[in-house]
Chains A and B, each alone.
Chain A
């Protein structure tokens, strides 16, 4: 009897091991090739090395020019949203047509929101004239416009908008602020609805029809008993908004403490009265919120402002207090990858707030991460390497022996080749002559294609994971860099400023590996065509440049001083190759020139 590996419990370990060994092999092969090749380049005489560098830089420029040439004149979406949509319709390939039509069907709304986005932007420009805008060099296709705001800036921005709308609505600033928050800071909608039906808007926002012009104040009323704490001593300070629900100050403060500290509410705290929907206005809150709560309260208010605004997002870096403004809309995310750089040095995607994932669009990043996380390829491996028992469905891996299988679980006897009953198998005990029948061929084809798709995934995944891993290792080296720099200063007599090239190299490595990592996720979803080959060429160039630099970076400290010029060359070459790759990819993405093997939604 041949040995047969049977059963569900066996499937588990069986499925896990093989992909990882494969991964390991691939990683091995990458590292060996990386270590075996580069020294040739490094040991070149310095002059020759720099010559090759300049030569390839020329190449690079030519690449960039070529990439720029076939491009249709680009209308920037932030300038003229309608035009770009029109372009989109005319350029759209058949596959993208549906998507483009969807876009045009919501154009009215979209145009509206774009308008106010534009207005906001103008406001902001006048508000923050001090921001150095024109210092940046000409914009590349993969770059987006953005501004970084400090909490103070955001407060200022809020105040200005409140002021502006307040004059329009002829309402006091506190009420206007409530109204704006109620309308999620969409001032066009607020103004329109307010002009339509003032009473209703005020009512819904919890402001009641009858607004007293009296400022909120604390009062001591004779014979007053607080409904919350039942205190009734004379002279008890109490407070009520104009809904008339009166409570003592202590209870009010305790109530606000509960809401602000425990429940994280700020903008829409209601009157503590049972069933009362009146929202507490800012003036009343200022009067009642105790000093230990004000910071938290203002932070919460600010958070709702940024959360409500589509063009503002908090920087996701831990402990970062900045918010970033960017005009890229959700529907643009199929055509652009809006990476923004916060003042805290964190680079993140404005679309999904994940760390920088250029050149891969958000939709593909989501798919890719899910795929990697789901380990859905384990299933793929099972289908490539195992069969199911035709009777009980247990997963079986044949680990040798003849074709006569006996399921360990249900004792079903069958032929591994034709999957038919062994008892009907005739006399051909040790080979199956039904092998060439159609069902058999189909089964084989299905297995082969499954195996192929697994190998394709692993190809991209291994490279993706390798760059992730290498970036981590590079980072470890970065931490050693400073030490190295100090050593270098003392051993070679170089000044601090002269050893900065090491830090520059380290940062370049980080950035390029981050980009490379995502090029593999991107490439996984690319359909095979000419453009994909160009992309892969760019990818290869960048990868080679990065590996060369990385290799050099690991040299001993005493050698480093002599490599300075070479290293600086290689660093700037890496950065240039990265820009070329990103620029070319972004340009094509904007024109919807890529063909993906999945839907970009």
Chain B
């Protein structure tokens, strides 16, 4: 038997569904309320605009003392996201605060799509291209978005 779900997670889940953030959705799995299917829209004005990106999100036992674990399932061309979909974001690591929430984290991820940071790369090859030939990199990102992140 799993431990009963903490009030915090119940409340967060409720609020995610009652007051959804525009462009972001997070649905818990029926059999595991700590596991969420996440969809994030590419922010408008960015090279990911028009795309819908799927992520998986898991709340570990220590949550909210530890950050949630999040990974992109949709292929994406981004200097801070690697080929396995892992994300390099400070609030997911040492700048995590228990006062942060799933909602705020997903907003941070959406913001990361709008502002790639090639200075702190996770995906070296993409970051290099981003620094040396930004128009080309943005073009590739757009192509990947059309190719892999179409709304179903």
Flag if A228 contacts B64 (CB, 8 Å).
yes
B79-93 vs A, CB cutoff 8 Å, 1 = contact: the mask equals: 000000000000100
Question: Which of A245, A254, A274, A276 is B65 in contact with, Cβ under 8 Å?
Answer: A254
Which residues of chain B have C-beta atoms less than 8 A from A229's C-beta?
6-8, 64
Question: How many Å lie between the Cα of A251 and that of B66 in the bound state?
Answer: 12
Which residues of chain A have C-beta atoms less than 8 A from B12's C-beta?
230
Interface range, A side: 10 to 19
| Nearest 8 pairs of A and B residues by beta carbon | A230-B11, A274-B97, A258-B65, A228-B98, A230-B8, A274-B99, A229-B8, A227-B99
Question: How many Å lie between the Cα of A229 and that of B98 in the bound state?
Answer: 9
Besides the known contacts A227-B99, A272-B97, A275-B97, 7 further A-B residue pairs in the complex with CB atoms under 8 A apart? A228-B98, A229-B6, A230-B8, A251-B98, A258-B65, A272-B99, A274-B104
Q: Does B62 contact A (CB under 8 A)?
A: yes
Question: How many Å lie between the Cα of A258 and that of B63 in the bound state?
Answer: 11
- 18 A/B residue pairs, CB under 8 Å, sorted by A: A227-B99, A228-B8, A228-B98, A229-B8, A230-B7, A230-B8, A247-B99, A254-B65, A255-B65, A255-B98, A257-B65, A258-B66, A272-B99, A274-B100, A274-B104, A275-B95, A275-B97, A276-B97
Main secondary structure of the interface of A (DSSP, over half): loop
Q: Looking at A230, A231, A251, A276, which has the most chain B CB atoms within 10 Å of its CB?
A: A230
Q: Looking at B10, B95, B97, which has the most chain A CB atoms within 10 Å of its CB?
A: B97
Which residues of chain A have C-beta atoms less than 8 A from B95's C-beta?
275
B21-65 vs A, CB cutoff 8 Å, 1 = contact: the mask equals: 000000000000000000000000000000000000000001011
A383-394 vs B, CB cutoff 8 Å, 1 = contact: the mask equals: 000000000000
Question: How many Å lie between the Cα of A276 and that of B91 in the bound state?
Answer: 13
Interface residues contributed by chain B, number (CB under 8 Å):
17
List residues of A (243-269) whose CB comes within 8 Å of B's CBs: 245, 247, 251, 254-255, 257-258
Question: How many Å lie between the Cα of A272 and that of B64 in the bound state?
Answer: 11
Q: A260 to chain B: closest CB distance in Å?
A: 12
Q: Does A216 contact B (CB under 8 A)?
A: no
Name the residue on B nearest A245 (C-beta).
B99
Name the residue on A nearest B94 (C-beta).
A263
Flag if A231 contacts B97 (CB, 8 Å).
no
Question: How many Å lie between the Cα of A228 and that of B104 in the bound state?
Answer: 13
Which residues of chain B have C-beta atoms less than 8 A from A272's C-beta?
97-99
Name the residue on A nearest B7 (C-beta).
A230
Which residues of chain A have C-beta atoms less than 8 A from B65's C-beta?
254-255, 257-258
Name the residue on A nearest B97 (C-beta).
A274
Which residues of chain A have C-beta atoms less than 8 A from B8's C-beta?
228-230
Q: Does A208 contact B (CB under 8 A)?
A: no
Q: Does A81 contact B (CB under 8 A)?
A: no
Q: A263 to chain B: closest CB distance in Å?
A: 9
Q: Does A273 contact B (CB under 8 A)?
A: yes
Flag if B62 contacts A258 (CB, 8 Å).
yes
Flag if A231 contacts B7 (CB, 8 Å).
yes
Name the residue on A nearest B10 (C-beta).
A230
Q: B117 to chain A: closest CB distance in Å?
A: 18
Which residues of chain A have C-beta atoms less than 8 A from B97's C-beta?
272-276
Which residues of chain B have C-beta atoms less than 8 A from A257's C-beta?
65
Which residues of chain A have C-beta atoms less than 8 A from B7's C-beta?
229-231
Q: B135 to chain A: closest CB distance in Å?
A: 34
List residues of B (4-18) whose CB comes within 8 Å of A's CBs: 6-8, 10-12
Q: B144 to chain A: closest CB distance in Å?
A: 32
Question: How many Å lie between the Cα of A229 and that of B99 in the bound state?
Answer: 9
List residues of A (420-460) whose CB comes within 8 Å of B's CBs: none
Flag if B99 contacts A228 (CB, 8 Å).
yes
Q: A303 to chain B: closest CB distance in Å?
A: 20
Name the residue on B nearest A227 (C-beta).
B99
Q: B99 to chain A: closest CB distance in Å?
A: 5
Question: How many Å lie between the Cα of A276 and that of B99 in the bound state?
Answer: 11
